[in-house]
Structure 1
């Protein structure tokens, strides 16, 4: 019997994270780092604490926050793991566990944090 590979799971998370970061990353940086803090095109009240709390307590808001955090983490983990070869560290179970384990722990912490905010 041929052993099945778990590589498609990691490639799917990598691809999803890459697509999401390419589409939303620059916009998130612009809105949260430039537009709202400087009052450029968007009012300061847009990201006030009550609005952000309401967003994070909404189920759609929770899913958006989790999608961004988790997919970015898995994308970064896979990119780092594949880039280790370029710096002379050959893939090993320890390096795989370090990269993907960090993404897994970060994902679990993100889920906990988002659920801790409440509904």
Structure 2
């Protein structure tokens, strides 16, 4: 019993990344087929007007506060999902170099792009 009390428990940061991974994967699974349907089938077949995705309409959407939030989520969460998958894919491929460097590169890139997208969208609104 005293071993349990004296044991030092270290908190892991991994649940944060798994949460972002799961949210990005779910979002990608739901949004990607819709985007393929709209841009790959409906617009080329003329079932949806090209003016629906015109620059003015898309710019108007991106410069509204709700559009900026939606675009931020649609860009950042799939990015976190992808880079978390890359990080664990390196392990699956047997590239077991310095895990700290791999984490910094993968998650650092996702964080940097997320901050960049946030500041860019903040300037648009």
After TM superposition, the score normalised by the length of structure 1 is 0.90
- The normalised TM-score by structure 2 is 0.86
Q: How far did residue 88 of structure 1 move?
A: 1.8
Distance verdict in 2 for CA 1:11–1:28, change over 3 Å: same
**Deviation of the 1:34 alpha carbon:** 4.2
Which among 15, 19, 24 is matched to residue 8 of structure 1?
15
| Residue 118 of structure 2 is aligned to residue 103 of structure 1 | no
Which moves more between the two structures, 86-95 or 96-105?
86-95
C-alpha deviation, 1:86, in angstroms: 2.1
Aligned partner of 1:42 among 40, 44, 48: 48
In structure 2, list runs of 5 or more residues that go unmatched: 1-7
Residue 79, structure 1, aligned to residue 75, structure 2:
no
- Aligned residue pairs, count: 117
Instruction: Show the 5 A alignment for 1:59-78.
Output: 59-78=65-84
Aligned Cα root-mean-square deviation (Å):
1.5
Helix, strand or coil at the partner of 2:57 = helix
